[in-house]
Amino acid sequence: MVASCGTNCVGCFGVSWLSLLAFFLTEAWINLRRHGVATLATVLTVALVVSLWGAFALLVKGAQRWLIWEGAKLERLCVFLRPQADEQVARRLQTQLRKLPQVVAVRFVHRDEGLRRLQQLFGDSVPLKDLIGHNPLPHALEVTCRSPQHVARCAAILRKMPDVDEVAYPAAAVERFVRLLRQVRWGANVFSLLLAIVAFALIHNAIRLSLYGRRNEIRIMQLVGATVWTVRSPFIAEGFLYGVFGGLMALAMLAGLRWLGLQTLEAGYLRGTLEAMAMDADFIQRAFALAVGLGTVSATIAALQLVKPQ
Amino acid sequence: MVVLRDVTVDYGNGAPALQRVNLTVEKSEFVFVVGPTGAGKSTLLKLLTREVIPTEGQVWVAGREVTQMKLSQVPHLRRLIGTVFQDILLLPDRTVWENVAFALRVTGASSATVLREVPRALEMVGMLPKAKAFPRELSGGEKQKVALARALVIRPLLLLADEPTGNLDPVASQEIVELLLRINRQGTTVLMATHDWTLVNAYRQRVVELQDGRIVRDELRGVFRRELA
């Protein structure tokens, strides 16, 4: 605000920042309504970018949480002995392993019990023993570690033992799965980035369209003494609103898809993952920040490029 | 109020729009700036709002040196100046009230200021009864009155009118000039660019005549010869 010139002109009226903010938002809202189709296309693109990002963020989170905390028993590993190792060797190894500081319990699994378990997996319709003619399984030991963090270390020790043929643990599978998910997520992020560029271009174009539609307003604004930022701000507010509506739409889409999935899927891995994909406050904040940030930053860049001080 | 000293404006497309123009307009003066199309009238007015920067010379408005002014200071200069044009530039999707209030809102004026100043400006031009009307419901003269109210609502020290009667019939033109004179009598300096010789001769105010970018005549209570229009 300039100092009073003593004439009671508009410069002496003072600036009400609240009124100015209301003005920006009102003008932005008028613009959004004026260009309905362009607005809808832009909001949808922002929503698509955020939904895609959000879907994969939730999927990775859900898969990790379900697998780690509810699914597999990650502190366990299974030690398969060499085929020539007999029960005596297995019992000796069992005693030896119990002494390891990382280990809580060791259970001997006779090769016959192993086959019975395998048979249970396949069901009675496939008689394994009849098909193969003999039991091909070795004796095994089920080792329970103190925590999932000890499993990899314990597995490394076991693999070095002469009578041990193979060490399998669910954590390895989980790690592989999570790694795969991360790769898919990375791909999704690249796709999201491409969509973000499209959203940026659409927002840029929408702002250009608004500028053209509002050239008279801009001329009037400049002539009555609006600062360059006052002229730019309604367009930035427009981008902000694209982000707000795009973000809300994305969250609604994600919540809707999750609800639909829960209604249709039966109990199992997918449903477990979906149940763990809850949209918590942190996720909602991040998704909303992404949408609003995308809208506001794109619009600010467009306004900086297209509205110059005059 | 306005001082131009040796001002030249050259757009680089032929002859300069203004050549070594010297002009002083005192506070509360009313000046008709006359001359044929392309004489430099609009350029002269645009110098005062700093829409045009002179190639040479200096321009002062209300004690501020406009030529050297920082870009960030230009909006503050423009808040001292009201402007009306031949193309009326009303916002078609807003009411008369909203069009006038727009000029205040962009400067961040409070709602209380808007509620106080908009009716005052509309009252001055006799358009308060049509505050809720849209521009499409108004005649050309009424639209120009609304544009004038929008220029007045900021309580300008200086009012610039660039061919404000260019698209109006004689009766409406007369109304607009009488309004400008009334505003001038209340203390606002008015510069009106026109090539309407009937109006200039009817009201006999100071006349500054431009031809080919030069001031060729500056007369108090002057006239405008028909053949020059």
DSSP state of B228: G
In this predicted structure, what is the pLDDT of residue B209?
Answer: 92
DSSP state of B131: T
- From the list A19, A23, A224, which residue is nearest B154 (CB)? A224
Quick one: A187 and A276 in the same domain? yes
Contact A85, A139 (CB under 8 A): yes
Chain mean position to CA A48? 14
- Owning domain of residue A117: 75-168
Using CA atoms, how far apart are residues A165 and B186, in angstroms rounded to an integer?
Answer: 105
Contact A141, A107 (CB under 8 A): yes
Residues 6+ apart with CB under 8 A from A244: A291, A292, A295
- From the list B71, B102, B113, which residue is nearest A220 (CB)? B102
- Min Cα distance A217 → chain B (Å) is 7
Q: How confident is the model at residue A14 (pLDDT cuts 50, 70, 90)?
A: low
Regarding an ipTM greater than 0.85, the answer is no
Interface residue A222 vs chain B (CB under 8 A)? yes
Among B135, B155, B175, residue at a domain's last position: B155
In tens digits, chain B (229 residues) has pLDDT values of 899 999 999 988 878 889 999 999 999 999 999 988 888 999 999 999 998 999 999 999 988 999 888 888 898 899 899 999 888 788 888 999 999 999 898 888 888 899 999 999 999 999 999 999 999 999 989 999 999 999 999 899 999 999 988 888 888 899 999 999 999 998 899 999 998 888 888 888 999 999 999 999 898 877 776 665 5
Using CA atoms, how far apart are residues A276 and A58, in angstroms rounded to an integer?
Answer: 8
**Is residue A134 situated within a structural domain?**
yes
The residues with which B83 forms a beta bridge, in sequence order, are B160
Q: Share the mean pLDDT of chain A.
A: 81
Using CA atoms, how far apart are residues B34 and A162, in angstroms rounded to an integer?
Answer: 109
Quick one: A107 and A212 in the same domain? no
Scanning every residue of chain A, which has its alpha carbon at the shortest distance from the alpha carbon of B117?
A10
Q: How confident is the model at residue A3 (pLDDT cuts 50, 70, 90)?
A: very low
Quick one: B9 and B39 in the same domain? yes
Quick one: B149 and B96 in the same domain? yes
Using CA atoms, how far apart are residues A217 and A234, in angstroms rounded to an integer?
Answer: 11
Mean per-residue pLDDT for A250-277?
81
Among A168, A193, A215, residue at a domain's last position: A168
Q: Which of A46-50, A191-195, B80-84 has the lowest mean pLDDT?
A: A191-195
**Is residue B21 situated within a structural domain?**
yes
- From the list B49, B51, B79, which residue is nearest A9 (CB)? B79
Residues 6+ apart with CB under 8 A from A197: none
Among B100, B121, B155, residue at a domain's last position: B155
The per-residue DSSP string of A121-159 comes to HH-TTS-HHHHHSS--PPPEEEEEESSHHHHHHHHHHHH
- Contacts A23 to B, Cβ<8 Å: 105-106, 108
Contact criterion met (CB < 8 Å) for B108 and A16: yes
Using CA atoms, how far apart are residues A185 and B135, in angstroms rounded to an integer?
Answer: 55
The H or E element containing residue B33 is strand B30-34
Quick one: A223 and A299 in the same domain? yes
Contact B202, B36 (CB under 8 A): no
Q: Which residue type sits at B93?
A: D
- Contacts B186 to A, Cβ<8 Å: none
In this predicted structure, what is the pLDDT of residue A1?
Answer: 35
Using CA atoms, how far apart are residues B203 and B13, in angstroms rounded to an integer?
Answer: 36
Summarised one tens digit per residue, pLDDT across range A131-143 is: 777 788 899 999 9
Sheet containing strand B2-9, strands side by side: B18-25, B2-9, B56-61, B64-65
Interface residue A285 vs chain B (CB under 8 A)? no
Using CA atoms, how far apart are residues B100 and B80, in angstroms rounded to an integer?
Answer: 16
In this predicted structure, what is the pLDDT of residue A289?
Answer: 93
**Is residue A6 situated within a structural domain?**
no
**pTM exceeds 0.90 for this model:** no
In this predicted structure, what is the pLDDT of residue A71?
Answer: 46
Q: Indicate which CATH number applies to the domain containing A132.
A: 3.30.70.3040
Summarised one tens digit per residue, pLDDT across range A102-157 is: 888 999 999 888 888 877 766 666 677 777 777 888 999 999 888 777 788 888 88
Interface residue A7 vs chain B (CB under 8 A)? yes
Contact criterion met (CB < 8 Å) for B154 and A15: no
Contact criterion met (CB < 8 Å) for B77 and A225: yes
CA pseudo-torsion sign A64, A70, A75, A79: negative
DSSP state of A1: -
Using CA atoms, how far apart are residues A64 and B117, in angstroms rounded to an integer?
Answer: 63
Number of alpha carbons in the 13 Å side-chain half-sphere of residue A41: 14
Summarised one tens digit per residue, pLDDT across range A62-74 is: 766 665 554 456 6
Interface residue B64 vs chain A (CB under 8 A)? no
Using CA atoms, how far apart are residues B57 and A198, in angstroms rounded to an integer?
Answer: 49
Domain count, chain B: 2
Using CA atoms, how far apart are residues A262 and A267, in angstroms rounded to an integer?
Answer: 9
Interface residue B83 vs chain A (CB under 8 A)? yes
Scanning every residue of chain B, which has its alpha carbon at the shortest distance from the alpha carbon of A14?
B109
Among A168, A186, A201, residue at a domain's last position: A168
Scanning every residue of chain B, which has its alpha carbon at the shortest distance from the alpha carbon of A23?
B105
- Contacts B62 to A, Cβ<8 Å: 5
SS3 label, residue B160: strand
- From the list A10, A15, A223, which residue is nearest B83 (CB)? A223
Interface residue A309 vs chain B (CB under 8 A)? yes
Residue (of B152, B153, B159, B164) closest to B89 by Cα position: B164
Quick one: B111 and B147 in the same domain? yes
Q: How confident is the model at residue A4 (pLDDT cuts 50, 70, 90)?
A: very low
Interface residue A13 vs chain B (CB under 8 A)? yes
In this predicted structure, what is the pLDDT of residue A124?
Answer: 66
Quick one: A218 and A252 in the same domain? yes
Judging by DSSP bridges, how do beta strands B158-162 and B81-85 pair with one another? parallel
Using CA atoms, how far apart are residues A95 and A109, in angstroms rounded to an integer?
Answer: 14
Domain count, chain A: 2
The residue with greater pLDDT, A164 or A1, is A164
- Owning domain of residue B131: 90-155
In this predicted structure, what is the pLDDT of residue B192?
Answer: 95
Quick one: A225 and A85 in the same domain? no
Tell me phi and psi for residue B33, to 5 degrees. Answer: -100, 115
Interface residue B194 vs chain A (CB under 8 A)? no
Interface test with chain A among B74, B76, B98, B106, by most A beta carbons within 10 Å: B106
Interface residue A20 vs chain B (CB under 8 A)? yes
Among A137, A168, A199, residue at a domain's last position: A168
Quick one: B194 and B98 in the same domain? no
Quick one: B117 and B208 in the same domain? no
In this predicted structure, what is the pLDDT of residue A126?
Answer: 65
Quick one: A79 and A63 in the same domain? no
Quick one: A260 and A131 in the same domain? no
User: Looking at chain B from residue 101 to 160, which residues have their Cβ under 8 Å from any Cβ of chain A?
Assistant: 102-111, 113-114, 117, 150, 153-157
**Is residue A2 situated within a structural domain?**
no
The residue with greater pLDDT, B210 or A2, is B210
Tell me phi and psi for residue B208, to 5 degrees. Answer: -110, 120
Compute the count of residue pairs across chains A and B with CB atoms less than 8 Å apart: 107
Quick one: A229 and A81 in the same domain? no
Using CA atoms, how far apart are residues B46 and A153, in angstroms rounded to an integer?
Answer: 81
In this predicted structure, what is the pLDDT of residue A64?
Answer: 64
Q: Where are the alpha helices (DSSP H) in B21-161?
A: 41-48, 74-78, 96-105, 111-125, 140-152
- Could you tell me the CA-to-CA distances from B73 to B27, B54, B104 in Å, in that order? 22, 17, 18
Instruction: Check pLDDT > 80 for residue A188.
Output: no
Interface residue B51 vs chain A (CB under 8 A)? yes
C-beta neighbour count of B212 within 10 angstroms: 15
**Is residue A8 situated within a structural domain?**
no
Contact B41, B210 (CB under 8 A): yes
Measured at the CA of A190, the angle between CA A184 and CA A192, to 5 degrees, comes to: 100
Q: Which of A84-93, A158-167, A169-178, A249-258 has the lowest mean pLDDT?
A: A169-178
In this predicted structure, what is the pLDDT of residue B149?
Answer: 94
Contact A38, A205 (CB under 8 A): yes
- Min Cα distance A227 → chain B (Å) is 6
Q: Where are the beta strands (DSSP E) in chain A?
A: 76-81, 103-109, 140-145, 164-168
Quick one: A113 and A58 in the same domain? no
Contact criterion met (CB < 8 Å) for A221 and B104: no
Quick one: A19 and A32 in the same domain? yes
